[in-house]
Structure 1
Amino acid sequence: MEPKQKILIVGDVNGNLKTFFARVETVNKKTGPFDLVLCVGSFFGSSPEVTELNEYKSRKKCIPIPTYILGPKNEATSKYFSVSQDSDICENLSYLGKRGIFSTSCGLKIAYVSGTEAEHADATKAPEWQFTKDDVLAVRDSCFASKSNMGDYRGVDVLVTCQWPIGIRDEVKNGSKQIAWLANAIKPRYHFCGLNGDYFESPPYRNKPDNNTQMELATRFIALADFGNKEKKKNIYALNVTPVDKMRIIELIQKTTDEIISPYATITFGEEQKGSRGNRSDQYFYDMNSYDDSRGNKRKSQGNRISGNFDTKRQKPSFDQEKCWFCLSSGTIEKHLIISVGEHFYLALAKGPINDTHILILSITHIQNASLLSAEQYAELNKFKSALAQFFKDREETIFLYERNYKTGHLQINAIGIDNNVAWKIKHVLEDKSEEHNLTLETAELPSSPADLPQKTPYFVAELPDGTMMFTKQMKQFPLHFGREIICADNLLNCEEKIDWRQCNLEKEAEDAMAQSFRESFKPYDFTI
């Protein structure tokens, strides 16, 4: 497995240093260890706890994790950086600088731009807390500097800025065109920013190929609220990431069904690009109920372009059977993973499987979730569940099934076997993990019809060995890997390194062999033959 970096990103600290460092220490002990902390937005604020900072400078107190901060946002905060330009403020607290690229020991590349966009086009008139087009061009060129061949650029891992980009969200009126242009040019896998006092996570957006790369790289944009805000908006984000240069290309271009097109596709600087390396530009939450396959309705795409005056119209994701990963008629489906095909459902080996019997039950046509099934479709779904349950029972295992109707456009139910000796712990693990994520799970009898599932709302449902189900409709900021966290828990399959499916990807030959082996083993239970 490739090395990963575990980092924390935090919103505007605004001078609340004592509380901030205490919180970082608590998070690090509970869910760490983390390799570093990145702070976006304003770190010192207008009146930082200078006495507290002096205690860290004198080493009376220790900062638990290497912490990197961006520069001032205005004149009032600039004085705290006057003696700290591009240097350590104290042990484990460093100012990154006005702009640049920061590389970690394992190869993670972090691009950054401090401050807010300059009001004057002339860089000589811009104060130190404002960046200019020369700054963003310098960052762009630094990202490309290590690439000897045109077209082989893979993007950077993280972009951190103080200011939001223009165009990412209609409600933000003080976004920066230059930050938007930079994000479009360097194509970060993650872009974090602050300053607006709000939390917002966009659907991942797909960057268009250009002169520097022919790959359709994706970016996830996350804006964080102020640290310690009274509304308890999200202000800390944990990221466990493999450096982009150590990832396989298929992982970089892997698509998800909730993607949107890039909101920056038409942004240019014009003449200032002359003489620079070419960079021509020729995926959080969609409404889970705006698609209903049973009525034959599909989303209608709207334009999502930014015109010269930056008026925007948001595009809602479109779920096209020809492009969906899971529709059997799709040209993108990986057919070597298919195990069995019925009238309405089929079985396939899970992508990035936890083990060699980790199976998905999928609808053949584009149906969003099980609550939308007809009686006939639901009957066949239960036949596949029963066949798999018997298959696992004969292996002295108990089947565990779950469905996540959130941030996915196609019905998919995970099925995996849990050793009979520990299967009774499934409910306890569900309870523990839900408490860890501040989720409330309800218990009910197993559904006898689609109407027994949560209607017209996102949901997560897990079926338990005792004939009950546990479910939640509390889906705001729901952890996408929650189901795999349960399976991989140390008191069930004990393989927490497999929680992220992307870390379990196999070569096609290995997938083919695994699917073929399961296909043969499942034949006695396959009612479709």
Structure 2
Amino acid sequence: MCCSLACGDIKGRLTQLFERVRSVQKKAGNFEMLVCVGSFFSSENHHHEELQKYIDGQLEVPIPTYILGPNTDDETVHYRDQEIEGGEICPNVTVLGKRGIFTTLSGLSIAYMSGQDGSNLQPSNVQKHHFVGDDINYFAKKANDSNFQGVDVLLTSPWPKGICNFVQPPENYNKDSGSSLVSHLASILKPRYHFSGTEGLFFERLPYRNDKGTYGKTQHVTRFLGLAPVGNEEKLKYLYAFNIVPIPHIPREKLTVIPPSVTNFPYSSLEKEQSHNADQSAQPSGGYFYDMGNAQNQRPYQQKRRRYDNENPGERNPRQPVSRGPCWFCLGNAEVEKHLVISVGIDSYVALAKGGLTSEHVLIIPIGHFPSSLHLTESIKYNLPIFLYKITYKDSLRKFFKSLGKECVIFERNFRSQHLQLQVVPIPSGTTNIAKELFQELGETNSLTFQLLPSNIDLTKILSEGSPFFLVEFDDGEMLLHRIRGKFPLQFGRQILASESLLNMPDRVNWKDCEISVEEATQSAQSFRKMFKSFDFNLN
């Protein structure tokens, strides 16, 4: 186990940082090293005087410290030509250099890429403190090794673009910021930890999957941390301790264990955009190729076109549900109609129903690909992503509808459906018992038998994993279950709720008859999101 520290932008505040490190070491014991992201130097003269004391040996650095290269042209002058090859700034402080992967004595692999994204600059304007597409291909070549499993740690100054997809971003974060090149780098290297700085924020993101939502492969997850600057006025966290067993020393079955709370791979949309820029006719199947045909992605002295294979075969896990083709409800899929999304939690999200019965008809959907509630229960047993906020979203929506003087019915149809959807439909207050009777009476009319279940029953005790079923849940916790054998009317749930005794909307039974324009749907989603805001646990 390697115990290390990571730090955000230092900006010359060396003594403040190292005093904090000594304090941490006194309480928690010694750490192997300190890795730093963001800007190390400052333009203020008194910080230069402070550094000189460490260079002269008047002050000592208490821990081996590794820093990145410059982020601006002004910072470059402090590196004494060490921004490319690396070198020692002062005793115990080492510049890693422009880019590379090095391995510590304990076996920890650390990848680093210094500087800022220069991919949008003309070649003549690309400076030493910029990285471009050619730098990404440098890493792609290394990842082409058939034995490559990823790296333990990745250090970059900029945040990756799209890192806040599927999660609530930190306050004051600009969603348009970040580097798409860093996103591609993270996709290639699959770091177990990725540290970045320069945004002036602290953000510990939920781990994300590196198998990009395809359940045929199992790969380890990535934990991203954006670290704040040392001595920031907001008292945001700038020093982070982490323990990690290096990849060569951990069995694959432990390396690839997926923690309970994860999200899908956040960079899928960026990779899809990149694929349009690549030369598909010459690209090997499954290979990674950063488009070098664009001059902005080349250094002036490196004009060759390169393509590298980044396919890293994983192991098939038969216990994981597999998506058969593109899924409209997997949040990582580019086809998802994101204008309908209301709220995104750790493991699930809420969206307006397309062609909903009413403007308040919503869906609770797992972010990962799960066909039914039965698979969610199985996932807990096998330590796969669990639907952690399923109950919380149910409770939040019930409280929300209650504030509007309404009750709600939640139903699930595990029949001719690819991805679990919990349909949440508000009904007039005091009509829950009417709804129960209608489901049972009209069920008998359609030769559908319903079984009344108590609240909080474990469905796996009464249903096998592959069993098709229709389940209705009411505000009092009671449920009605129909075990589907043979045919089942796909619009049955809507038919009951649209009946004259409840919503009285017989013309809205089929969702295709209720579709509205993207503009209208976007406006409805915004309106619902605003009303639901005080009930959304992700925001409170």
SS class of match (1:185): helix
Matched, 1:278 2:309: yes
SS of the residue 2:77 aligns to: helix
Match for residue 161 of structure 1?
Answer: 156
Aligned-residue offset at 1:209: 6.6
* CA–CA distance in structure 1, aligned partners of residues 368 and 111 of structure 2: 36
Letter in 2 for 1:160: L
Alpha-carbon distance in structure 1 between the residues aligned to 2:118 and 2:456? 59
CA shift for structure 1 position 208: 2.4
Q: 1:116 — aligned with what?
A: 116
Question: How many residue pairs align between the two structures?
Answer: 332
Give the structure 2 partner of residue 91 of structure 1.
Answer: 91
Residues 38, 197 of structure 2: 8 Å contact kept: yes
SS across alignment from 1:127: coil
TM-score by length of 2: 0.53
Query: Secondary structure at the residue paired with 2:128?
Result: coil
Give SS of 2:57's match: coil
User: 1:74: which partner in 2?
Assistant: 72
Cα deviations across residues 400-427 of structure 1 (Å, max 9, x unaligned)? Answer: xxxxxxxxxxxxxxxxxxxxxxxxxxxx
Counterpart pick for 2:242 among 236, 239, 244: 239
- Tell me the equivalent position of 2:50: 52
Partners of 1:244 and 1:79 lie apart in 2 by: 37
Q: Determine the structure 2 residue equivalent to 1:133.
A: 133
Percent of aligned pairs sharing the same letter: 32
Q: What letter corresponds to residue 51 of structure 1 in structure 2?
A: E
Q: Which has the higher contact order (CA 8 A, sep 6+)?
A: 2
What SS does structure 1 have at the residue aligned with 2:94? strand
In 2, Cα distance between the equivalents of 1:312 and 1:116? 35
Shift of 1:207: 1.4
2:26 corresponds to which of 15, 26, 29:
29
SS of the residue 1:166 aligns to? coil
Counterpart-to-counterpart distance in 2, 1:27 and 1:88:
24
Gaps of 5+ in 1: 283-299, 338-350, 352-361, 381-455, 459-474, 477-529
Provide the C-alpha distance between the structure 1 equivalents of 2:116 and 2:245, rounded to a whole number of angstroms.
30
Q: Answer whether contact 2:140 2:308 (CA < 8 A) is retained.
A: no
How many angstroms apart in 1 are the aligned matches of 2:219 and 2:344?
Answer: 18
| CA deviation map 1:226-279 (0-9, x unaligned) | 111111111111011000122111222212332111111251362454643213
- Which residue matches 1:203? 206
Q: How does 1:259-338 map to 2 (within 5 A)?
A: 259-265=262-268, 266-267=270-271, 268=274, 270-271=278-279, 273=290, 275-279=306-310, 303-304=331-332, 316=345, 317-318=347-348, 332=378
Q: Which region of structure 1 is more displaced relative to structure 2, 267-276 or 155-164?
A: 267-276
Other structure's SS at 1:102 match: strand
More divergent stretch after superposition (135-144 vs 242-251): 135-144
- Structure 1 stretch displaced more, 120-129 or 30-39: 120-129
Structure 2 partner of 1:14? 11
**1:173 — aligned with what?**
176
Q: Provide the C-alpha distance between the structure 2 equivalents of 1:332 and 1:142, rounded to a whole number of angstroms.
A: 37
Residue 216 (str. 1) matches residue 219 (str. 2): yes
Q: Secondary structure at the match of 1:100?
A: strand
**2:189 is matched by which residue type in structure 1?**
I
**Could you tell me how far apart the structure 1 residues matched to 2:184 and 2:119 are?**
17
Aligned pair in 2 of structure 1 residues 301, 102: CA closer, same or farther (>3 Å)?
Answer: same
Between the aligned partners of 1:31 and 1:311, the Cα distance in structure 2 is 47
Would you say the 8 A contact 1:209–1:215 is kept in 2? Answer: no
Q: Which amino acid aligns with 1:277?
A: Y
Contact 2:38 2:196 (8 Å CA) reproduced: yes
The 1:312/1:44 distance shift into structure 2, 3 A limit, reads farther
Q: How does 1:365-404 map to 2 (within 5 A)?
A: none
Contact 1:210/1:281 (8 A) holds in 2? no
Q: Give the AA of the match of 2:186.
A: A
Q: Which residue of structure 2 lines up, in the alignment, with residue 416 of structure 1?
A: none
Q: For residue 71 of structure 1, give the secondary structure of its aligned residue in structure 2.
A: coil
Give, in whole Å, the separation in 2 of the partners of 1:303 and 1:116.
Answer: 30
Query: For residues 199 and 322 of structure 1, what CA distance do their matches in structure 2 show?
Result: 26
